[in-house]
Structure formats: C-alpha cells, structure tokens
Amino acid sequence: MNDIVIKTKSELTKHKQSERTYRKLITSLSHDIRTPLASLTGHLEAIQLGMVSDKEIDRYIDTSLRKAFDLQNYINTLFEWLKLESGERVYHHEDTDVFELIREITAEWIPQFDNANMEYDISISEANLTTKIDKTALKRIIDNLLQNSLTHSRAMKIKLAAHQDNNRICIKISDDGVGIPETHLPHIFDRLYKCNAARGVSGNGLGLSIVQELVKELKGEINVQSKEGQSTEFSLSIPILC
C-alpha cells in the first residue's frame, strides 16, 4: 500500500508539473507570436496603404521578412518540442557521411553569420566517416546551437569544430560573447528556461531543451562551459554506430 501511495503521489506531482509547464508555454506562446506578428502586419499594412516612401520600402520589406522568419522558426521549434513531449517523434537512422552532412548544415549558416557581421572559424574533419544517424535530428541539434549563439551571445566570432575521437563523433560550438552566468548553467537545458541576465530573454526557452532530448535519443552527451563576459562552448559527443 505504501508503494502504491508513493507511486500515486509521484504521478500526481508529475501531472501538476506538466500542467504548469503547458500553462507557461501558452503564456510564452501568446507573447512570442503576438509581438512579431503585430510588427509584421503593421509594416505590411503601411506598405499597402502607401504610407512608406520609395526610399523606405526596402527597409520595411526586410524587416517584415525577418519577422516572418522569426515566426517560422518559432512555430517549427514549437512543433518539434510538442512531438518530443508526446513521444510522436519518429527517428530514421540511416547510413550517413556524417562530416559531409555537418559541412552541408554549417554552409547554410554562412550567409547569416555574414549578415550579422560575425567572424566564423569552421574546422570539420576531411575523413570519410559513415555512421547510422538520424540526419534531421543532427541538423536540428546543430541549427539550435548555432541559432542560440547567433541570437543570444552578442559575439564577434563563432567557432565550429567536428572530428572523430575513437568511436565517437565530437562537435564543439563556441563563441566569444557575453557568456552565461554560473547560476544559470545548471538550468539552460530545462524546458522554457530563459536566462534573464547577460544573454537576454529573447527566444522561447525551447531550443536547448530540444537539443538535449535529441542528443539523448542519439545516445550522445552534451555539456556546456561558459565564462561570463568572455565565452561559451557547447561540446557534443555522439557514438559511431555501424
């Protein structure tokens, strides 16, 4: 009976925590979607009503496009998190030249680094290494980590390195930005957690929690080291599967 009572209390606690998480998500969702959507519609309405001069129209269009991309990224992140939370995420492990895949993923980010006037140092092994991996999961992991640095770090330079260490694939992503306060480091992979100090509060608090869940599914490990005001480094290690 004691075991049953303890198990029931544990399940009730998890249920209440889940309810609080979803309520927090809805509150965050309302704010994070409403703000860029209001800006997007406002800019487009101004263009439509002829309130924007020819000199300003390109700037208005660029701003509208950025807001649209922000919404797209937020919605994609939300759907990814919901699939992970519900256990509906389906994984497809297939033979993949992993370093070539990492090069392809990273190449897509070069224009964004250039637009942000951010220097980049990319070092990816030239070895031909084929392993079974979910390509979409690995892409989401790298994308989220790079997006995190681009959005929050206020860095001047970002580094990505990938190599093989015995039977593991090692990926490091670092920046020379504002860093993460030591008190926040234990919580940055928590769902909906947002640092409210140096790195700001923008974002939905889901990106790094998604990274952690996907890394677990790939049987890997991820760690972070940071010095406030100096740098942050994420270290990812994934086993090589034949």
Q: What is the pLDDT of residues 38-73, one digit of tens each?
A: 888 888 898 888 888 888 888 888 888 878 877 877
Q: Note the pLDDT of residue 2.
A: 59
Tokens of 4: 């049953």
Q: Note the pLDDT of residue 207.
A: 83
Residue 18 has pLDDT above 60, yes or no: no
- Contact in structure between 138 and 103 (CB atoms under 8 Å): no
Q: Note the pLDDT of residue 76.
A: 76
Confidence of residue 25 (pLDDT cuts 50, 70, 90): low
Q: Are strands 157-165 and 119-124 parallel, antiparallel or unpaired?
A: parallel
Confidence of residue 83 (pLDDT cuts 50, 70, 90): confident
Q: Note the pLDDT of residue 199.
A: 44
pLDDT tens figures, 137-149: 999 999 999 988 9
Mean pLDDT within 13-31: 61
**Nearest 5°: phi and psi at 174?**
-135, 160
Question: CA 3 → CA 7, 11, 12, 129, distances in Å?
Answer: 6, 12, 14, 49
Provide the mean pLDDT of the chain.
83
Mean pLDDT within 153-169: 95
- Contact in structure between 4 and 12 (CB atoms under 8 Å): no
DSSP letter for each residue of 160-216: EEEEEETTEEEEEEEE-SS---TTTGGGTTSTT----STT-S-S-S-HHHHHHHHHH
Tell me the domains of the chain and their CATH numbers: 2-86 (1.10.287.130), 93-239 (3.30.565.10)
Least confident of 21-30, 156-165, 173-182: 21-30
Q: Note the pLDDT of residue 197.
A: 45
The helix or strand, by DSSP H or E, that contains position 134, with its residue range, turns out to be strand 130-134
Helical axes 2-48 vs 54-86, angle rounded to 10°: 160
Tokens of 7: 């198990």
Q: Note the pLDDT of residue 8.
A: 60
Rounded to whole angstroms, the Cα distance separating 37 from 126 reads 43
pLDDT top residue among 161 and 193: 161
